[in-house]
Chain A
Amino acid sequence: MSLEVKVPAVGESITEVTIANWLKKDGDRVERDEVIAELESDKATFELPAEAAGILHIVAQQGDTIEVGAVICEIDQEGAAPSPVTPAAQETAPTGGAQASNAGEAVEMKVPTVGESITEVTIANWLKKDGDHVERDEVIAELESDKATFELPAEAAGTLEIVAQQGDTIEIGATICRIMPGAGTVQANAQAAAKQEAATQQAAAAQPAAAPSGAQTYASGTPSPAAGKILAEKGVNPADVQGSGRDGRITKEDAQNAQGRPAQPEARPAAANAPAQLAATGNQQTASTGDRQQRREKMSSLRRTVARRLVQVKNDTAMLTTFNEVDMKPIMDIRAKYKDKFKEKHEVGLGFMSFFTKACTVALQEWPAVNAQIDGNDMIFNNFCDISIAVSSPKGLVVPVIRNAEELTLDGIEKEVVRLAKKARDGKLSIEEMTGGTFTITNGGVFGSMMSTPIINAPQSAILGMHNIVQRPVAVNGQVEIRPMMYLALSYDHRIIDGRESVSFLVRVKELLEDPMRLLLGV
């Protein structure tokens, strides 16, 4: 039996790889998990381990660029026998001829390398059940890392044997599941199962009393006496438990494994409940009439990482915030005047973001400490301004980076903002697009925030908070005028940035925004 090895999905933005180096020659014997080739994408290089033991037949040659999912080589597992016998080969050799369905070895699927900084992933969702039949390349699970989610395609066809459960966080390279070659004899795939069920139902119609085991019946979801007690104590509704007993009955083991959720308000009268509470282990709730449901769900890997980092920043830096305000009238006037022409010429709208980004890059170059960062006992100063933009995405807060923003024109910045924001919304940002950054801009104004103190995006040293624009009376040349005003907040790490620098930086940003001509003249 020959196993086709395909280019694994290595990251969302990567569609093709180049074979940098074959470490094994055509016809060589390879062991499972032995590295057989080095692949190169436009972002990184990575190693290709053998998915099974056997004789290697190279399909794609060194230097070839092939698409993800294309066949890269074949491993002849039958050929494993004559080679020096290894424990793995020993298992297969004796049965190889006798039982066709057992001829292949189980393919052990491991967590693929998805990025340099990622060491672990969380299994967000198993799309196939244990024992299901899967086709090769069929997506069987969704994995989630700190930064992105990606899909896990089956590396072989066969019966899925799940090793790591949904919600588990496992390291790169750890075994995630096994695929037993040969068609799943017990459970066919979903379609076949559906067909089978239909057939059984027909049979049942002919023979009214024939209750096919495993089908939904009147008894499905019935807890056994012991299971019922356990579920009552956990506050779990039997309807929420998948019964593994005959015809879906809930066994004691099912009940033991059921996830306890905070009890729903019980129908029992309070007085009746009182004795039960003597030594009750569960949540106690005081009598209350209103609906008081709670919902508990696991934090996503992304959420956990964000949470950990935010707390870490608060603890590890000397963070404080300085404020200023900016009269937005000049920029609004410019926008009003050139909006249409800008759009016509650059095919992108003229927003505020480009002005703020540009103003920040100018000010950052004048006050380099704000654009610097601490690394151990050193300070790293950057001569480029990589501006991180905080974007709220369905998965949570993400911070893509506009590289060398100081060199970009206003339309260049706008285009980049649009591109990154769209990818963020679609959850398609690559890890590279989110790493780095020397300074961050966050705009709480879009949600109506008037004033806030943002938290630094570590290891950066400062973050600018934009807010909403409000018509306010201000004194202009001794006269009270109504102007569109915005408060600006700059949170910074006092360990590296002094008050003079931070305040001056923010004043400079204000000046540039209130008189955009300065951006043009560089004064």
Chain B
Amino acid sequence: MKYDVTVIGSGPGGYVAAIRCAQLGLKTAIIEKYNVLGGTCLNVGCIPSKALLDSSEHFHNAAHAFQTHGIELSNLQVNMQQMIKRKGEVVKSNNDGIAYLMKKNKIDTYYGLGSFVSKNKIKVTGTDGNVQEIETDKTIIATGSKPASLPFLPVDKKRIITSTEALELTEVPKHLIVIGGGVIGLELGSVYARLGAKVTVVEYLDTIIPTMDRALSKELQRVLKKTLGFEFFFNHKVTGATNNGETVTVTAENPKGETLTFEGDYVLVSIGRKPYTEGLGLENAGVQMGERGMIAVNDHMETNVPGIYAIGDVVRGAMLAHKAEEEGVLVAEEIVGQKPHINYNLIPGVVYTWPEVAGVGFTEEQLKEQGRAYKSGSFPFKASGRAKASGDTDGFVKVLADKETDEILGVHMIGPRIADLVAEAVVAMEFRASAEDVARMSHAHPTYAEAIKEACLAATENRAIHI
């Protein structure tokens, strides 16, 4: 077969790129190594983790919040099998959804390992060993990433696990040791902490979620300690882990150089993810790699080989599904000669803990580093009528605006449902709204979104109404 475009990888970057190509009239194929579409995000990432986060949050509320609401339960129990089964159903229905979208857009789907034979020829090796060859004019590499591991700490997938295994546990750990205080470690740590596990986070740096505004990491750290009993060890360098059969021992070095030992029954290695290009045969097409295993691309996501593009986790930038999606659309449109643009500064970052954490634009630390004159306005959910009603009073919204022009430069939030609310901040910032602009827009009452308006009022000239 001969295609205008072949996409390798069917994650949110790949399948979105394929659909956009098809919409633009290009004959498109998509190759997926596994026997289900959707990539990491759908199968072992965003979607299943959200399913478990929601399930575990229900349990946590039932155990801790219901009583205050006047609901009494007895014999509250976790049915881990059912929880994992339901997660599987959520994933399955999304798999089917993407398969339907491929069909609807007349995209040919190939299951198997895609690898370059030459610049315009790709071999697909199925799990049954069956080999097909397809010809293509353009290729979009969207092979994503895999959990990274430490060389001295091999993952055995039993006691020493990655996020993939953490989504399939058949029991609730008694003590989960999380290596790495990033998004994945905190989300999956939250899942099991809510279900009753003791969670210890060992972090090499001095903070959790280090890429986000410091005010957010501080507040999240406080809330996780308070509500879920998280233990944090910062500036600790993990030196090893041993599977003792029923337990696991983790050793780490504290800032003073002393060695500490942590005893638990599971250790989650969540130190980040690395680009995945194995078996792609990039050398056969002459595609050059960049630093740290990434594929090097220019601003148009094109590799050094004209006609071969790469998007998502396999290239530079944040490893986020929505970033990959934007890049997929961009490449499809570039291929037909359009001139799209991505404002990387306005790709929001989100953490699905409870309270949720989200931010877009510059952090306060970045503005300080730039030496930019800015002003800041905050509004705590403690003062929100809506938050009081639901009982979710932890967190705040912080708006950073230019001191002279009042243009919003960053919005950083921690609180209930703010993963959804950050979209308002993105819209405002894409249109370069000022804090007062947002403050002058009606926000429905009572909603969590009012906190954004109030924070904007505070940023404008410290005139929040409800505090």
A residues with a Cβ closer than 8 A to B are 208-211, 217-219, 222, 224-225, 228-229, 232-233, 245-246, 249, 268-269, 271-272, 274-282
Contact = CB atoms under 8 A, between A and B. Distances in A.
B298 interface: yes
Contact of B431 (A224, A275, A277): A224
Interface in B411-467: 430-437, 460-461
Contacts of A209: 406, 434-436, 460-461
> Considering the complex of A and B, which 8 residue pairs feature the smallest CB-CB distances, nearest first?
A280-B337, A232-B339, A218-B405, A219-B432, A279-B337, A233-B339, A222-B432, A279-B336
A275 B335 contact: yes
Contacts of B435: 209
Interface stretch (B149-157, B220-228, B300-308): B300-308
Given A209-B461, A219-B432, A275 B306 contact: yes
B402 interface: yes
B306 A218 contact: no
A451 B437 CA distance: 70
A275 B405 contact: no
Given A211-B436, A224-B430, A225-B430, A218 B337 contact: no
A229 B339 contact: yes
A278 B405 contact: no
A229 B461 contact: no
Contact of B337 (A217, A246, A271, A276): A276
A270 B115 CA distance: 28
Nearest to A249: B431
B405 A272 contact: no
Q: Chain B's interface: helix, strand, loop or mixed, by majority?
A: loop
A209 B402 CA distance: 11
B258 interface: no
Given A225-B430, A232-B341, A272 B407 contact: no
A249 B433 CA distance: 10
Contacts of A281: 337
Contacts of A249: 431-432
A218 B437 CA distance: 13
B307 A275 contact: yes
23 contacts: A210-B436, A211-B437, A218-B404, A218-B407, A219-B405, A219-B433, A225-B343, A228-B341, A229-B340, A249-B431, A249-B432, A269-B298, A272-B298, A272-B299, A274-B306, A275-B138, A275-B300, A275-B302, A275-B306, A276-B300, A276-B338, A278-B336, A280-B337
A232 B333 CA distance: 13
B334 A275 contact: yes
**Of residues A211, A224, A277, which shows the largest number of chain B Cβ atoms within 10 Å of its Cβ?**
A211
B4 to A, nearest CB: 10
B332 to A, nearest CB: 11
Contacts of B309: 275
Interface of B: 138, 298-300, 302, 306-307, 309, 334-341, 343, 402, 404-407, 430-437, 460-461
A390 to B, nearest CB: 48
Nearest to A220: B432
Contacts of B436: 209-211
Contacts of A268: 299
Contacts, number: 78
Contacts of A277: 337
Contacts of B302: 272, 275
A222 B431 contact: yes
Nearest to A251: B431
Nearest to A218: B405
Contacts of A228: 341
A211 B306 CA distance: 47
A272 B300 contact: yes
A246 B430 CA distance: 13
Contacts of A269: 298
Contacts of B336: 278-279
Contacts of A208: 461
A218 B431 contact: no
Given A224-B430, A276-B334, A211 B341 contact: no
B74 to A, nearest CB: 54
B292 to A, nearest CB: 23
Contacts of B430: 224-225
B71 to A, nearest CB: 45
Nearest to B342: A225
B226 to A, nearest CB: 36
A198 B360 CA distance: 36
Contact of A271 (B138, B306, B433): B306
Contacts of B299: 268, 272
Given A225-B430, A245-B431, A278-B336, 18 more contacts: A209-B434, A209-B435, A209-B436, A210-B436, A218-B404, A219-B431, A219-B432, A219-B434, A224-B431, A229-B338, A229-B341, A246-B437, A249-B431, A268-B299, A272-B300, A274-B306, A276-B334, A276-B339
A394 B434 CA distance: 48
Contacts of A274: 306
B339 A219 contact: no
A241 to B, nearest CB: 15
A4 to B, nearest CB: 45
B402 A218 contact: yes
Nearest to A271: B306
A209 B377 CA distance: 14
Given A275-B307, A276-B300, A219 B407 contact: yes
Nearest to B338: A233
Contacts of A210: 436
A282 B298 CA distance: 22
Contacts of A272: 298-300, 302
Contacts of B461: 208-209
A278 B431 contact: no
A278 B335 contact: yes
Contacts of B433: 219
A211 B437 CA distance: 8
A246 B435 CA distance: 14
A224 B338 CA distance: 16
B404 to A, nearest CB: 8
Contact of B405 (A217, A229, A246): A217
Contacts of B460: 209
Nearest to A210: B436
A224 B431 CA distance: 6
Most buried by B among A224, A225, A233, A274: A225
Nearest to B300: A272
Residue among A224, A268, A278, A281 having the largest count of chain B Cβ atoms under 10 Å: A278
B413 to A, nearest CB: 22
B114 to A, nearest CB: 20
A144 B338 CA distance: 39
A208 B405 CA distance: 9
A225 B298 CA distance: 21
Nearest to B433: A219
A391 B338 CA distance: 49
A209 B334 CA distance: 40
A246 B433 CA distance: 10
Nearest to B301: A275
Nearest to A232: B339
Nearest to B340: A229
Contacts of A282: 337
Nearest to B405: A218
A141 to B, nearest CB: 35
A182 B113 CA distance: 75
A233 B431 CA distance: 20
B119 to A, nearest CB: 13
Nearest to B298: A272
Contacts of B407: 218-219
A281 B339 CA distance: 11
Contacts of B402: 218
A249 B437 CA distance: 13
Contacts of A211: 406, 434, 436-437
A208 B459 CA distance: 12
Contacts of B343: 225
B326 to A, nearest CB: 11
